[in-house]
Amino acid sequence: MGDSNGSGMDRRALLGGAALGAGLIAGGVAAAPQAAEAQVLFPKAGGGFGGPFGGGGSVAGAVCRSENDLYDCEVEGKLPADLDGVFYRVGPDPQYPKPPQWTMDIPFDGEGHISMFRIKDGHVDFRSRYARNQRWKAQHAARRSLFGMYRNPATDDPSVKGLSRGTANTQIVYHHNRLFAMKEDSPPVAMDPLTLETTDDYYTFGGGMKSLTFTAHPKIDPHTGEMIAFGYEAKGFYTPDIEVFSCDKTGKVNWSAWVKSPYTCMIHDFGVTQKHIAFLATPLAANQELLAKGGPHWAWDSSLPSYLGVMRRGGDGSDIQWIKGPGWMATHTMGAWSEGDKLYFDVDGAPGNQFPFFPSVHEPFDPKASVGRVVRLTADMSTKNPDGYGRETLFPQITGALSRQDDRYHTVPYRWGILNGGGWNLLDHQTGKAQTFTLPGAMLAEATFVPRHRNAPEGDGYLIGVASHMKENGRSDLLIVDTQDIAAGPIATVHMPYRVVGQIHGLWVPGDQLPKHA
Ligand SMILES: [Fe+2]
């Protein structure tokens, strides 16, 4: 989940959504679902679902919806001849307009539309496809929206009871020759990494995963090739249960443990090291009163504390310590590692609610408190029942969200981080220096790191991501900048003739890791 998607992010729309949410908290009554209009027509006014932000990262109130193929895209500049791989992206792209009573739905509720730029031999081919998950198929057959408010099943059309509500719109991961599109309220959707054909609309690792949910941000251990993941609300709606598990290179689940969160809240990402697993529980909490009124799943409850939960990786979970701290919020992991019993866990944190469309229980949304910075959390696990956890802001001059790293350094000490906000910020933890790339007149989606080649040192390579040009109705370019000098601008620009589907997160997969029939 994130907030930078190459869209014309409209503050009024976001605040309008917050006001609607606040109304629900204050006692607004939602109408029962009704049949959609026979004709398909998205709302033209901003602020509603399908509006500037809700339009799946699109602009001017438009959604995308068009599944496209473009062979041999235009390329300006010098695309490295040896650059070989796929840049995948995913974001919410509403399949159908919501019925009128759910047009205030939040931007994260659109159906997952995955796109890929296949780069090889100096050429770029583009393809985009929706995840054909259970939700997409039901709505496609009905030719209308059947799912109401974000993660609120009581608002659904009765015909979809029992189907997975997952949108598969948040992030993708590639593991055991499968591409997975993920939404944290449901199991992943498996897709063919070369064609984007959906191959499994409810993937459970051969039954090895017992959780009913799966994070959008699993981690890959660079030493073992294992994928480590978790699901929260793992035993169903409202439940505090978390399953954390790993699978080997073949997808076989080889470790699983169950723990309980101190309260049921959004746990969007987590920290994985060679030794520890870390969860951060923050006050964006499940709010049953809000849900009963037809609202979204979460509300910001500033009266709640935070907890940093740390457990031994590979254990049974009984050793987890939930270390209490002040109420604040973080959404994404930049990196995490352990030194002995000490955990280091870097996140994109902010003092308050980072998502204005999730209503606040006690006070109005505070834009200043939503601004994210890199925050380093520390905990010494040799101490039983520690008083608190360490929390230090790094690079205080750099603000943003959607923290990333060179993905080859999951679970181990790392040097280079990326923070997205107003531009692409490349942060050097060794020197404390930051480089920033900006493109005036364009919105930049999240940057993803691409190694220069298989054995390139950490951080040596490219940042890749999509720019949407505001004066061209959001027309898209794919930008590739060299991490040796990102301020110099793109070394290559892939000019798309249209606005590509929006994005929350992206993923680079090197060509030599793709299935052999590539
Ligand atoms: Fe995310």
Q: Say if CB 53 and CB 414 are below 8 A apart.
A: no
Name the residue with tokens 């409209």. Answer: 10
pLDDT at 163: 96
Q: What is the dihedral of CA 366, 10, 65, 147, to 10 degrees?
A: 40
Question: Residue 267 and residue 270: Cα distance in Å, rounded?
Answer: 7
User: DSSP state, 18?
Assistant: H
Instruction: Tell me the CA–centroid distance for residue 382 and ligand 1, in Å.
Output: 31
Instruction: Tell me the CA–centroid distance for residue 3 and ligand 1, in Å.
Output: 9
pLDDT at 474: 86
Q: Say if CB 234 and CB 211 are below 8 A apart.
A: yes
pLDDT surpassing 90 at residue 59 = no
Instruction: Tell me the CA–centroid distance for residue 279 and ligand 1, in Å.
Output: 14
Instruction: Tell me the CA–centroid distance for residue 291 and ligand 1, in Å.
Output: 23
Give the CA radius of gyration of the chain.
21
Predicted confidence band of residue 4 (pLDDT cuts 50, 70, 90) = very low
Instruction: Tell me the CA–centroid distance for residue 494 and ligand 1, in Å.
Output: 25
pLDDT at 62: 53
Compute the average pLDDT of residues 295-314: 96
pLDDT at 281: 98
The model's pLDDT over 239-265, given as tens digits with 9 standing for 90+, comes to: 999 999 999 999 999 999 999 999 999
Compute the average pLDDT of residues 457-461: 98
Nearest residue to 390 (alpha-carbon basis) of 306, 304, 488:
306
pLDDT greater at residue 264 or residue 5: 264
Instruction: Tell me the CA–centroid distance for residue 217 and ligand 1, in Å.
Output: 7
Side-chain-side CA neighbours of residue 14 (13 Å): 17
**Residue ranges of domains in the chain:** 11-29+42-513
Q: Residue 29 corresponds to which tokens in the numbers above?
A: 């009554």
Instruction: Tell me the CA–centroid distance for residue 517 and ligand 1, in Å.
Output: 31
pLDDT surpassing 90 at residue 227 = yes
**CA quadruple 315, 318, 319, 324: dihedral positive or negative?**
positive
Instruction: Tell me the CA–centroid distance for residue 81 and ligand 1, in Å.
Output: 31
pLDDT at 450: 98
Instruction: Tell me the CA–centroid distance for residue 169 and ligand 1, in Å.
Output: 10
Mean pLDDT score of the chain:
89
pLDDT greater at residue 42 or residue 503: 503
Question: Residue 331 and residue 458: Cα distance in Å, rounded?
Answer: 24
Question: φ, ψ for residue 238 (rounded to 5)?
Answer: 75, -15
CA 326 to chain CA centroid, Å, is: 25
What is the full DSSP assignment across 201-267?
SS--TTTT---S---S--EE-TTT--EEEEEESTTSTT--EEEEEEE-TTS-EEEEEEEE-SS-B--
Instruction: Tell me the CA–centroid distance for residue 244 and ligand 1, in Å.
Output: 18
The model's pLDDT over 69-96, given as tens digits with 9 standing for 90+, comes to: 999 999 999 999 999 999 999 999 999 9
Instruction: Tell me the CA–centroid distance for residue 381 and ligand 1, in Å.
Output: 27
pLDDT surpassing 50 at residue 32 = no
User: Considering the entire predicted model, what is its pTM?
Assistant: 0.91
Instruction: Tell me the CA–centroid distance for residue 235 and ligand 1, in Å.
Output: 22
Instruction: Tell me the CA–centroid distance for residue 421 and ligand 1, in Å.
Output: 14
Give the residues across from 505 on adjacent strands: 90
Q: Burial level of 26, CB count in 10 A (0-12/13-18/19+)?
A: exposed
pLDDT surpassing 70 at residue 155 = yes
Instruction: Tell me the CA–centroid distance for residue 506 and ligand 1, in Å.
Output: 10
Instruction: Tell me the CA–centroid distance for residue 404 and ligand 1, in Å.
Output: 10
Predicted confidence band of residue 150 (pLDDT cuts 50, 70, 90) = very high
Question: Residue 464 and residue 73: Cα distance in Å, rounded?
Answer: 16
Instruction: Tell me the CA–centroid distance for residue 334 and ligand 1, in Å.
Output: 11
pLDDT surpassing 50 at residue 2 = no
- Distance between start and end Cα atoms, the chain: 30
Q: Say if CB 258 and CB 232 are below 8 A apart.
A: no
What type of residue is 390? G
Share of the chain above pLDDT 70, in %: 89
In 134-182, beta strands by DSSP E: 171-175, 178-182
Instruction: Tell me the CA–centroid distance for residue 102 and ligand 1, in Å.
Output: 24
Please give, one letter per residue, the 3-state secondary structure of 213-226: CCCCCCEECCCCCC
Provide the CATH topology of domain 11-29+42-513: Methylamine Dehydrogenase; Chain H (2.130.10)
Instruction: Tell me the CA–centroid distance for residue 277 and ligand 1, in Å.
Output: 18
* Range in 19-33, 51-65, 283-297, 456-470 with the lowest mean pLDDT: 19-33
pLDDT at 45: 59
Question: Residue 100 and residue 35: Cα distance in Å, rounded?
Answer: 10
Predicted confidence band of residue 64 (pLDDT cuts 50, 70, 90) = confident
Compute the average pLDDT of residues 31-57: 52
Instruction: Tell me the CA–centroid distance for residue 60 and ligand 1, in Å.
Output: 24
Longest dimension (CA), the chain: 63
Instruction: Tell me the CA–centroid distance for residue 153 and ligand 1, in Å.
Output: 22
Name the residue with tokens 């989940």. Answer: 1
Q: Residue 271 corresponds to which tokens in the numbers above?
A: 């920290």
Instruction: Tell me the CA–centroid distance for residue 488 and ligand 1, in Å.
Output: 28
The model's pLDDT over 172-214, given as tens digits with 9 standing for 90+, comes to: 999 999 999 999 999 999 999 999 999 999 999 999 999 999 9
pLDDT surpassing 80 at residue 363 = yes
Question: Residue 206 and residue 254: Cα distance in Å, rounded?
Answer: 12
**CA quadruple 368, 371, 373, 375: dihedral positive or negative?**
positive
Instruction: Tell me the CA–centroid distance for residue 67 and ligand 1, in Å.
Output: 23
Question: Residue 268 and residue 288: Cα distance in Å, rounded?
Answer: 19
Instruction: Tell me the CA–centroid distance for residue 460 and ligand 1, in Å.
Output: 24
Q: Burial level of 494, CB count in 10 A (0-12/13-18/19+)?
A: buried
Instruction: Tell me the CA–centroid distance for residue 122 and ligand 1, in Å.
Output: 30
Instruction: Tell me the CA–centroid distance for residue 269 and ligand 1, in Å.
Output: 7
Instruction: Tell me the CA–centroid distance for residue 35 and ligand 1, in Å.
Output: 32
Instruction: Tell me the CA–centroid distance for residue 385 and ligand 1, in Å.
Output: 30
Instruction: Tell me the CA–centroid distance for residue 402 and ligand 1, in Å.
Output: 7
